[in-house]
Amino acid sequence: MENFIVSARKYRPLSFKQVIGQQAITSTLQNAIKNNHLAQAFLFTGPRGVGKTTCARILAKTINCENITAEAEACDKCESCTSFNDNASFNIHELDAASNNSVDDIRALVERVRIPPQVGKYKVYIIDEVHMLSAAAFNAFLKTLEEPPAYAKFILATTEKHKIIPTILSRCQIFDFKRIQVEDIAAYLAYVAKNEKIEAGEDALHIIAQKADGALRDALSTFDQIVSFSGNELTYKNVIENLNILDYEYFFRVTDALLSGDIPELLLIFNEIIENGFDGQHFLTGLGEHLRSLLLLKDPQTIQLMHTGTGLKEKYKAQAARCEAAWLLHALETCNKYDLDYKTSNNKRLHVEICLMQISHIGENNTGTQAEKKQAAVISPAKQVQPTTQQPARTPEPLSQAEKSVSEEKPGYPETPEPVQAETEKPAARPVPRPATKPVTEGNGRKIKNISIKDSLEALKKNKEKGEQSAEPVRTNPFDQEKLEEAWNLFTASYQSRSPSFASAIAKYTPKLKEDFVVEYKVDNKIITQDTLNVTALLQFLKAELSNTEITLTPVFPEKNEPKKAYTDREKFDQMAKKYPEIVKLKEQLGLELQF
């Protein structure tokens, strides 16, 4: 490679039509040239590396050209054009205000403005990084900018428009340069690669383009850097090694493991990532981006926001098809939360691991069996009914492992055949309605349906509009104490198989019907009334059985000094349970039957 010229210079556009990604600006400038409506001063603002100086140079060359084409492009043949292309024109003056920002620098420039051009029509002054000028320099420049000679044109360029004083802004025609689209950069890189006879993979170029964050110049220098390292073949692997980017393969694997709830696999992948020298935050940010990409593919309207090569896009699509939009939203939310908290965490590795475990917990239901999904779907509508009981709320603390497995394996209601569950064969003894309240374990992801973002938002809106209409219709069928007791006994009998301890506890005393359909029931200890799942099942059963949705349950407890009955085994157990509530959980978990 003799006399290597950096691509950013070698491929610097020489005409307006070669400028990438700034079509609005170049066509405005060309129209102004055609109509001879050129301003005296321009302000080119926008991020670095997007073509501000390039456009300024092309503009300078074009307006000095002796044979401007009909499309308002320079001819590239005349004397002026060739001197411009050889960087030998006397009609263009570039000043980098970052290094020449004193009053003296500006005075020298102003001096030169006074001399008219010897050849050509215009003298063009390009002041780069104009926001770096000192206040005094700004003021010295202002006079010239107010009354410039007709042959002088000023092009001020800056990455920080907000630092330009209003008196300057008001004297310039302002052009806002945009970040260049990833697709445009990638396409341009492909063109450069082809010209340089470099074999470059589409994914490789896309990664470079993404990393450049809209700056074509940065993309080109990255491209040069990797080519000088890896020779004439530019692969995805070269690129990620060079740019210290986490391989997207990791994120596909992590997402798979999250979906299947494979925690050991998650920990192993994360370990591998750490061993490759990446830090946790890097990983969390990358995971967030990956999940976002999957979410974007869920809606036809957001697919266009995905900037990857087509091959990779197909891979994303395949994974996105296996995730549900609601799951992705929850996962993203969790990931983002942990990303934000990362800095303050003491054990950073554990912090990321907990994040992964949490997300995989969301996934549990996502990949669950059809039956589970159906059940989840059945639970959700009932959620709209507000619980009317006065039962104390359960603490929102995370569930212990034991508690979790209890409530998951043994939801507090019988699995009765709903019409949708056609596969259930044996007829159930007695249909007990589903609990109205949200079961504690009904975590973030229980009510997942396969929906697009838009659909979910619309559904939410509709639900809100409907309001109470969608709730269960109010029924106030009157009933008496006798009917209540009948229903009560039915429940305790059918519930015996579900939760013997709960059934026995409430069967011990007779409930009392009070005014306004308040049902007062007595239990030996508070723990029973805090068993939200079972209490709710009871309430729902009564409501259905007695055709009355206004029923509420109020627990009462035996007086403290009320003399206890003889100490039976049952009571001994209850006393112990009162003192050590874990016993009940243990019993439930081990599926123990008590024989009293």
| Nearest CA-CA partner of 210 in 174, 167, 246, 249 | 246
Q: DSSP assignment of 495-562, as one string?
A: HTTT-HHHHHHHHSS--EE-GGGEEEEE-S-HHHHT-HHHHHHHHHHHHHHTTBTT-EEEEE---TTS
- Contacts for 194 with CB less than 8 Å, ≥ 6 apart: none
For 548, which DSSP code?
Answer: B
Residue 64 CB, nearest distance to Zn ion (Å)?
A: 8
C-alpha 425/C-alpha 365 separation (Å) is 24
Beta carbon nearer to Zn ion, 66 or 520: 66
Beta carbon nearer to Zn ion, 84 or 270: 84
Residue 116 CB, nearest distance to Zn ion (Å)?
A: 20
Which tokens hold the place of 55? 């456009």
| Nearest CA-CA partner of 56 in 104, 107, 101, 91 | 91
Beta carbon nearer to Zn ion, 74 or 296: 74
For 230, which DSSP code?
Answer: H
Provide the angle, in degrees to the nearest 10, between the axes of the packed helices 569-579 and 582-590: 120
Residue 15 CB, nearest distance to Zn ion (Å)?
A: 11
Residue 76 CB, nearest distance to Zn ion (Å)?
A: 6
Residue 122 CB, nearest distance to Zn ion (Å)?
A: 13
Looking at the chain, the number of H-run helices and the number of E-run strands are 26, 10
Place of tokens 């627990």: 555
For 476, which DSSP code?
Answer: B
Beta carbon nearer to Zn ion, 65 or 172: 65
Residue 54 CB, nearest distance to Zn ion (Å)?
A: 17
Beta carbon nearer to Zn ion, 75 or 190: 75
Which of 311-320 are b and which e, b meaning 16 or more Cβ less than 10 Å from the residue's Cβ?
Answer: ebbeebeebb
Which tokens hold the place of 305? 């926001």
| Nearest CA-CA partner of 112 in 137, 87, 94 | 94
Beta carbon nearer to Zn ion, 75 or 507: 75
C-alpha 81/C-alpha 67 separation (Å) is 9
Residue 78 CB, nearest distance to Zn ion (Å)?
A: 3
Provide the angle, in degrees to the nearest 10, between the axes of the packed helices 325-341 and 453-466: 100
SS (H, E, C) 76-137: CCCHHHHHHHCCCCCCEEEEECCCCCCHHHHHHHHHHHCCCCCCCCCEEEEEECHHHCCHHH
Q: Which residues on neighbouring strands pair with residue 518, listed in sequence order?
A: 552
Beta carbon nearer to Zn ion, 122 or 175: 122
Residue 81 CB, nearest distance to Zn ion (Å)?
A: 3
C-alpha 17/C-alpha 528 separation (Å) is 78
- Interaction site with Zn ion (CB under 5 A): 65, 74-75, 78, 81
Beta carbon nearer to Zn ion, 119 or 268: 119
Residue 30 CB, nearest distance to Zn ion (Å)?
A: 15
Beta carbon nearer to Zn ion, 65 or 551: 65
Residue 13 CB, nearest distance to Zn ion (Å)?
A: 16
Beta carbon nearer to Zn ion, 60 or 553: 60
Beta carbon nearer to Zn ion, 62 or 552: 62
Q: 325 and 295 in contact (C-beta within 8 Å)?
A: yes
Beta carbon nearer to Zn ion, 78 or 354: 78
C-alpha 193/C-alpha 212 separation (Å) is 17
Residue 42 CB, nearest distance to Zn ion (Å)?
A: 21
Residue 11 CB, nearest distance to Zn ion (Å)?
A: 21
Residue 69 CB, nearest distance to Zn ion (Å)?
A: 9
Beta carbon nearer to Zn ion, 38 or 274: 38
C-alpha 195/C-alpha 581 separation (Å) is 76
CB neighbourhood size of 594 (10 A): 11
Q: 80 and 91 in contact (C-beta within 8 Å)?
A: yes
C-alpha 440/C-alpha 410 separation (Å) is 13
Q: Which amino acid is at 169?
A: L
